[in-house]
Structure 1
Amino acid sequence: MSPPLARRAVTPASWVALLAAAALAWALTVRAASGMAPGPGTMGQGLWGFLVLWGLMMAAMMLPAVAPVVSLYLRTLRAHSTGWTRAGRSTGLVIGYLCAWEAFGLAAFGVAWASGELAARSPGAASWVGALLLVGAGLYQVTPLKDRCLSHCRSPLGFLMHFGTYSGRLRDLRVGLYHGGYCVGCCWGLMVVLIVVGVMNLAWMAALACAVFLEKTWRHGKAFSLVLGVALIGYACFVPWNPGLIPGLRTAPGMPM
């Protein structure tokens, strides 16, 4: 097994820039969450408003985990590239990466909307549906597809070197989209968990962001991924009798429909 990205040499400047961007995204997300009532659904947003907030959330949660990939990509570029060139190319990669998550946001909007409707119309069924979604997310953690996507995210050197030889203005955007697609394949189950517990649930956002970071960068990340899957299944077992565990599928008493 190749060593995880966090143990390889990285470019400090790219880490600082991406962590600063993630911190800004967190600040904006927290500010947005302060004006929203907790509960199920799409946070009271239409499609475009939801996608804006989703993009902020993905930047906050995912940019720390993608920082090692960006640093590694910069090392595959030709040595005579200027600082401005490297900055522009890494920015293109990050934009492409976030575009992949924005595309997934379309599906997330549909799931969030459906969860809000279900919570309002059939609270009893919503608890069981939420439990099943958590079980599904937990089971996905132990599938070969999850393992393949996670292996790519932990050791993407081969594909980065391949794409590093491409030319054209959109080459870096293409790299970002490609890597983002694997990241979506790796983490979509955890994003379903986020919808189940409430899209703007900041505590769960922080916990899942840490989980994603550990999966991708810790040397025991693959084992941690399996443990996380078992933990989600165990959590799901309590949900039907404790609906408060899944606020994303529960309408609080007195909450307007």
Structure 2
Amino acid sequence: MATPAWEYAWLRSAVFGLSLCAWLAVLWPVLAGQEAGAEHLAISYCGAPVPVPSFATYAPSGELLASVTPLSPGLTWAWAGNWALMLVAMMLPTLVAPLCHVHSRSFARRRARAMSLFVLGYGAVWLVVGSGLLGLQRLVQGWFANPYLLAGAAVLLALVWQASPLKQRFLNRGHRHRALAAFGVRADADALRLGLEHGGWCAASCWALMLVPPLLPSGHLWAMAAVGLLMYCERLDPPGQPAWRWRGFKTAVGFARLRLLGPRRFLHTELVSMR
């Protein structure tokens, strides 16, 4: 059963509207002129914790092994809330296609519940992945004394992964949407399972990009916006054969030019470039 055009437009508008609200919540301290220094924030929107009292672990020989920063329950909940807000802002636009699939494969009286279960499964995966990325972030920050060297390594890793054939395999799997049962507990389980599966394939393809914003010395919000746009645009590309090639950048540039030039000038520019 195909989704009517007006329902698809309504769903897409609702998704982008929620994402915009999340972005406004993220940017509100900056817009209100109340941006505090990093030393006054327990956890940033990127999920990067600022220094808090820590304790060190030592080898039997007395050699310093690592500095471990404990997280109190309050800090854990604060991180989870900021991470969830960041996910809504960055990742929600990438869910238009799977949400449309759930919407079109569910009866009208079950659509809200099915879509909520899908988002719940998707968010649960990213909550677990986010805690793993946070641990990895802390680990590599202990290895690199120079934050600019660390940022360069993170960007290089993301670029290599972006062009790798394995990433294309994960993106291809993200385009596949399982059939959903129509009734009962099985329908709810299928929607939840689809969210878990889609979240897993999405995390597998995007983990390197998601590491970049919190590892930058500054400009976290700009990096979040750029990474979010790239992840959205690479999902607009059709599935392809796994090979070494750039993904998402051409679509992102075209998307930006379309928004800046408008449809007519953009089409004229493309026709001229094809001659």
Identify whether the pair has TM-score above 0.5, normalized to the shorter chain: yes
Tell me the equivalent position of 2:195: 176
**Which letter maps to 1:160?**
R
Q: Which TM-score applies when normalising by structure 1?
A: 0.68
Tell me the equivalent position of 2:173: 152
Gaps of 5+ in 1: 1-7, 229-257
1:61 positional shift: 0.5
Within a 5 Å distance, the mapping from 1:1-257 to structure 2 comes to 11-31=8-28, 35-37=35-37, 41-43=48-50, 46-77=75-106, 81-82=107-108, 84-114=109-139, 117=142, 122-123=145-146, 126-153=147-174, 155-156=175-176, 159-161=177-179, 163-164=180-181, 167=186, 169-197=188-216, 201-218=220-237, 224-225=246-247
- C-alpha distance in 2 between matches for 1:224 and 1:9: 34
- C-alpha distance in 2 between matches for 1:117 and 1:103: 22
Q: Secondary structure at the match of 2:49?
A: coil
**Which letter maps to 2:104?**
R
1:193 positional shift: 1.3
1:131 to 1:13, Cα distance in 2 relative to 1, 3 A: same
Q: Secondary structure at the match of 2:186?
A: coil
1:224 positional shift: 4.8
Gaps of 5+ in 2: 52-70, 251-275
1:169 positional shift: 3.7
Report how many aligned residue pairs link the two structures: 209
1:24 to 1:203, Cα distance in 2 relative to 1, 3 A: same
- C-alpha distance in 2 between matches for 1:127 and 1:144: 28
Contact 1:149 1:186 in 2 (8 A): yes
Offset from partner CA, 1:223-249 (integer Å, 9 cap, x none) = 651758xxxxxxxxxxxxxxxxxxxxx
1:47 positional shift: 3.0
Tell me the equivalent position of 1:237: none
Q: Greater helix percent: which structure? A: 1
Q: Secondary structure at the match of 1:217?
A: coil
Moved more, 194-203 or 57-66: 194-203
1:135 positional shift: 1.9
Look at both structures and tell me which one has the larger radius of gyration over its CA atoms: 2
Q: Which TM-score applies when normalising by structure 2?
A: 0.64
- C-alpha distance in 1 between matches for 2:218 and 2:101: 31
1:139 positional shift: 1.3
**Which letter maps to 1:85?**
R
Q: Bigger relative contact order, structure 1 or 2, given CA contacts below 8 A and separation 6+?
A: 1
